[in-house]
Structure 1
Amino acid sequence: MHLLFVADPLASFKIYKDTTFAMMREAQRRGHTLATCEPKDMRWQTGEKVTATAQRIRLTGDATDWYTAEPAEREQLCDFDAIVMRKDPPFDSEFFYSTHLLEQAEREGAHVFNKPRALRDHPEKLAILEFAQFSGPTLVTRSAADIKRFHAEHKDIILKPLDGMGGMGIFRVKEDGLNLGSITETLNKDGAQSVMVQKFLPEISLGDKRVLVIGGKPVPFSLARIPQGSEVRGNLAAGGLGVAQPLSERDREIGEALGPVLAARGLLLAGVDVIGDYVTEINVTSPTCFQEIFDQTGFDVAAMFVDALEAALKN
């Protein structure tokens, strides 16, 4: 197979932990060929199919000079056997426009994973609304009064922007309500933007678990991202410690319930975030943690992903 990875610049990869790199390495090991581009490299013009200025690359196995690249050429997206969309958040306007270009490429015969429409239909914070049976008390609103009432009911709450990533912009307000008004004004822009508010889950001290679901099936290990020091956020980007561990019964129940639903919509890979027994987010843009799980448990998540990718292309 000839695979195109739509991703961030290769120079930004930290290959010792990068999930996209792990996917590429496993694909190349199986004899598949690799190409990469950034979203900005895609183009559509009347009378043409969607194209991208793409680099064909080969991984070298060297930790520093880790790939070689041929000169970039403009290629039709539908000529690739599969396109793997791995652009990191934020899901901004340009990401949104990229999904439309990729969806046009699908109409022209391309196979894109995760499916562009599914990326648009599953914003990572709001995707939990559909699965409320697995979620803790949650509020989505622009209203400062609603947030104040939610705090009065639950006493200890988490507030976060809907477009945040890596733990960015997350606040905890305890029973004393200290700075609740100021935090609300900061996040909702005086009522102009929606905010997600959730009851604080003390189980965060045991980790914010990333349960990966591939081809509708949960990976048997999660990565618990454990907050360090006085930090309330477990995100690795915020300094959390990643500890791989077998799925609990509840983790598996969640993964097995959500997995087939998400897979049927074209989400080959999803990262379900679980604190205690509750789903807090469903990540679909570029879920990570493949290498951390492999390094600590020996379970080859990248191999499971490429298995699923190959199977999807046969169907």
Structure 2
Amino acid sequence: MAALRVVVFSGTGRTLLNTSKSIHTPRANMSFASLPKRKKIALTTIGVLTTGGAGLALMLQQSVKASDLELHPPSYPWSHNGLLSSLDHASIRRGYQVYKQVCSACHSMEYLAFRNLVGVSHTEAEVKTLAEEIEVVDGPDDSGEMFTRPGKLSDYFPKPYANPEAARAANNGALPPDLSYIISARHGGEDYVFSLLTSYCDPPAGVSVREDLYYNPYFPGQAIGMAPPIYNEVLEYDDGTPATMSQVAKDVCTFLRWAAEPEHDQRKRMGLKILIGASILVPLVYYLKRHRWSVMKSRKIAYRPPK
């Protein structure tokens, strides 16, 4: 009986092992093509409604976020926006005159020195004359006392206020920003600054502006603490150019673009040199790769032992 049980159990074990090998587990096929037609229509409808709802919600969110009273600056055709276009250096010179006579009363440019103007908008003699017009506190001298001296090329543009607290006190709590990199620091660049300078107007009906503030649709919040800085004939250009509001705004924006990116012309000049060099070098490299090195790369080296 023991021998019989061993034979029966062993046969059962083989049967179970063989059975387990022959069992095939069905794979779940969840592809879209295998679904019934009704389910396809239902899933497609749900997808379209979800996408449309998300797009509508995004549009509503953007319309609520961007106020109807706040405008985005248009894109103006600046002469230096071209791929190989340089800055208008005559406009830079006039823009410096606008900054000196109008903007410097409130705004500083503490990262710009007089020497930066040499060869860009003024000659060295002209810049020395401009620098000598200011008084700079220097020292100490041999006796340990501070003294004042005329400015020189290495001096930076003078600040209108001694510190930020004095600037806030003189402007009803508002701090005039430094203009050294204002073009790069504002979304829209010179388009925004130009639109801001030329778009002061009366507030529309139903909009009230607090006292000592001015309505400007391009400024975030539409209420700005800076009074309209420019208008027609606000100054007289040295070269005789008519000083209309748009001309003054254009010149000071060009000057601020140069101040924020003094390497503008050099960068484009270097890019042109690289393109010219690449137009000569790339075909030469392609020729060497395709017709010279291909022989070396496609050859077959085989070892044939001596017989």
| TM bracket, shorter-chain basis | under 0.3
Whichever structure has more strand as a proportion of its residues is 1
**Which protein has the larger Cα radius of gyration, Structure 1 or Structure 2?**
2
Report which structure shows greater RCO (CA 8 Å, sep ≥6).
2
